[in-house]
Amino acid sequence: MTMRSIEIYDTTLRDGAQAEGVSFSAVAKVQVAKRLDEFGVAMIEGGFAASNPKDMEFFRLIKEEPLKNAKIASFGSTRRANVEPEADTGLAALLEADTPVCTIFGKSWLLHVTEVLQTTAEENLAMISDSVRYLKVHGKEVVFDAEHFYDGYKDNPGYAMSALKAAADAGADCLVLCETNGGALPHEVGEITAAVVSAFETPVGIHSHNDGELGVANALAAVNAGAVHVQGTMNGIGERVGNCNLSSVIPNLMLKMDLECLPAPGNLKQLRMLSQFVYEQANMRPFTKQAFVGDSAFAHKAGMHVDGVRKIPESFEHINPERVGAKRRILISELSGASNIFLKAIEMGLEIDRKSPEVREVLRQLEQMEKEGYEYESADASFQMLIKKVLKKHQSFFELESFSVTVNRQGGVGECRTAATVKVSVKGETELTVGEGDGPVDALNVALRKALSKFYPSIADVVLRDYSVRILDPEEATAAKTRVLIESGDGEKTWGTVGVSENIIEASWEALVDSVEYKLFLEEEKVRTSPQEISKHHTIDDHG
């Protein structure tokens, strides 16, 4: 039996770009489109053809890229009321974009026809049919987005269906039912979609928004009712609270409903990387709690859960994380048990017996450290330092002799200048350096890097991505204990570190040192496991 296929239509570059705070450059849009094509989506909506020069620039640039899987679609509306298609500037822009697919939206809710467009029901139907026919005459594949379809159908089923008929009779290649306001429920979407599918031979699609937190659920309900085309955005970004999230709907369709969405099922392993790439191009911080692809999607904290996952992964995981390019994470906290410590050590490449005294000692120290205010869920690297110290596998790459920070401001409105002096001992040498920064932590970071870069050049790759402070005992006011969390990265990997002290500078230094040492451990491990290093040791072993 042939597997049923669902056409995935990505509108990240058009509808996703309408999200608050999101703006893609034309070049970034091309990069995202290339990654979407590599992933295997069927159609990529590049922008609103009549909207702005940047979108038209994208359509020009993308023609120079040899795409393997996706067709590019330009987006626009039906002709204006009482204007011939040949004279309509919007339709002219769609043809100027020169894309193989043209997607046009038209009204299917009488409320919009009479009150928003302020035209007649009959003229609106003519606008739909004329526009579709005009684009078909020019050789375009036409996707018709029936805007506000579900609301329109609930208000007047006959008219909503007549809007679809106008498009279908004019030659539309797909009839997309738009849940534009995002307020419909899955059972409503399923029932209405089934009625449409039974009435038309033209393929039916769904475009859902997430205002009721049901964008993905409504898309799945529509597919279950016979829709074969799903529109959405990567990570669900979009206007208001967003669109149907392709990062969730695609794995649900493929892994839960056994439907074909991508040209090669193995492409699904690219999902997490694609999600992260889109976040970067949109200049957004990834949502850690995001299903399937978020950092917390397969993170386990409670000791019983971790023990279950260790024995039978599917006991607490709805899919194998690797199927979507994700990884299991074991979190460490006051809820941890021996299984957490054991699996975390394995994750680090350390050999340890689950029942060994070392595991009990790690648990004891963990409990003590958390009493003092440390928290390791977001500070994986600091916890690895803790394990290494207990197992006596920790080595210091440098020793602090002293540091000082000065903040100088002259006059009432002058700019604050911050400088840090760091004195460290590295490989038997003493380094004294000064760094300037936007604040104390930045200045310390600059000074420490200067001191270490001569000995450890890779330290230049480390970037502080985030810095957060939490007051642990606010009743102590300015003498309160402070927890500092630092997120660092080197372009390949990100890690978190933690420091705690009544002195915010000292807490920051502690987290900063863990961050730097973790990077140096990574580099050391990379060298130790390199083919050349392994070959060298084998040669020594072979010759006694």
By CB neighbour count within 10 A (0-12 exposed, 13-18 middle, 19+ buried), where does 160 fall?
buried
- Find the length of the chain: 544
Q: Is 446:387 a contact under the CB 8 Å cutoff? A: no
Dihedral of the CA atoms 414, 471, 466, 363 (nearest 10)?
Answer: 150
Give the CATH class of 7-281: alpha beta
Q: What are the residue boundaries of the structural domains of the chain, listed by start?
A: 7-281, 299-371, 398-455, 463-544
Domains 7-281 and 398-455 share a fold: no
CATH architecture of 463-544: 2-Layer Sandwich (3.30)
Confidence of residue 332 (pLDDT cuts 50, 70, 90): low
The mean pLDDT of 33-58, rounded to a whole number, is 91
Among 274, 302, 303, 298, which Cα is nearest to 286's?
Answer: 274
pLDDT digits (tens, 9 = 90+) for 70-96: 999 999 999 999 999 999 999 999 999
Identify the bridge partners of residue 71 per DSSP, sorted by sequence position. 43
Confidence of residue 543 (pLDDT cuts 50, 70, 90): very low
By CB neighbour count within 10 A (0-12 exposed, 13-18 middle, 19+ buried), where does 313 fall?
middle
Q: Is 178:244 a contact under the CB 8 Å cutoff? A: no
Question: What per-residue confidence (pLDDT) applies to 1?
Answer: 43
Q: Which residue has better confidence, 174 or 391? A: 174
Confidence of residue 302 (pLDDT cuts 50, 70, 90): low
Helix (H, G, I), strand (E, B) or coil at 408: strand
Identify the bridge partners of residue 206 per DSSP, sorted by sequence position. 177, 230
Among 33, 41, 35, 4, which Cα is nearest to 17's?
Answer: 33
Question: What per-residue confidence (pLDDT) applies to 351?
Answer: 64
Residue 539: pLDDT above 60? no
Residue ranges with strand state E in 189-281:
204-208, 229-232
Q: Is 41:7 a contact under the CB 8 Å cutoff? A: no
Q: What is the pLDDT of the chain when averaged over all its residues?
A: 86
| Percentage of residues in the chain having pLDDT higher than 90 | 53
pLDDT digits (tens, 9 = 90+) for 238-271: 999 999 999 999 999 999 999 999 999 999 999 9
Question: What per-residue confidence (pLDDT) applies to 528?
Answer: 62
Confidence of residue 540 (pLDDT cuts 50, 70, 90): very low
Rounded CA separation 539/544 (Å)? 9
Rounded CA separation 409/308 (Å)? 57
Residue 28: pLDDT above 80? yes
Confidence of residue 283 (pLDDT cuts 50, 70, 90): confident
Q: Topology of 398-455 in CATH?
A: Double Stranded RNA Binding Domain (3.30.160)
427 Rama class: left (phi>0) / alpha (psi -120 to 50) / beta: left
